[in-house]
Amino acid sequence: MESTRRVSTPLLIGGLFVVAASLAVLFIVPHAYFIAATYAATTCMIVVTYLLTRYRGLFRPGVATIAFGLVTAVALYLIFYLGNLGVNALHPLGMSTSNENSIYSLIASPSNPLYSQVAVLGFDAVGYESFFRGALQTHLEPRMGIGSVFLVALIDALLHVITLNPLWVVTTFIADSVWGLTYYYSKDLTSSVASHFVWDLVIFILLPIR
């Protein structure tokens, strides 16, 4: 992973700007174009990561790291399940299940075939983990240690402010923190991608939390 750590800060900031712009477009397009815009945004993340790192040393698949990713996916689902109970009971910051349902409707809409939902969730997992963990967190980790996990989670959460959905911002920070810790301890992007993709499948398709 040493080669990825030599990415210059100006180049990384430029990459972050491109990714932020693609996410801004994603969050403001009409809902009918959300799937297409998601492919565009996540493709930007993958391309930027490739240009910055060539993906050298990022994927080190093994049984242990993949299993670790599956465990963190289950743990994150349980965190969201308990959090949903808290939101329904307390309505913090005015958040409610209506905020939650607006997120589900973008992906798990009856107008989107199942194969389309699975495919876009796959791109979502690879794209986000590539840039935010593989490029950004890997670059910051040598200087910040575990703090890089939470700084990257905060950056991604702040990029979601444009949605004007406070629940989406909070859940992004929580999910990114878990995936960041997954990558921090596994040192294998396969692990965090597996965690992200499995969590996406379960929470959006198999066992949605309402």
Does the structure show a pLDDT above 70 at 204?
yes
**Type of residue found at 56:** R
CA pair distance 26, 41, nearest whole angstrom: 7
- First and final CA of the chain: distance in angstroms? 40
Per-residue confidence (pLDDT) for residue 31, from 0 to 100: 86
Rg (CA), the chain: 16
What is the domain extent for residue 67? 2-206
Average pLDDT over residues 160-178: 94
pLDDT digits (tens, 9 = 90+) for 14-40: 999 999 999 999 999 998 899 999 999
pLDDT band at 106 (very low <50, low <70, confident <90, very high): confident
Please calculate the CA angle 128-136-197 and round it to the nearest 5 degrees. 20
Residue positions counted in the chain: 210
Does 31 or 187 have the greater pLDDT score? 187
Average pLDDT over residues 101-114: 74
Does 85 or 174 have the greater pLDDT score? 174
Per-residue confidence (pLDDT) for residue 3, from 0 to 100: 43
For 108-165, where are the alpha helices, taking DSSP H only? 114-128, 138-144, 147-159
pLDDT band at 97 (very low <50, low <70, confident <90, very high): low
Does the structure show a pLDDT above 70 at 2?
no
Per-residue confidence (pLDDT) for residue 209, from 0 to 100: 86
DSSP reduced 3-state for 180:
helix
Average pLDDT over residues 59-67: 97
Q: What is the pTM of this model?
A: 0.92
* Tokens representing residue 48 in the block: 């930027």
Total domains present in the chain: 1
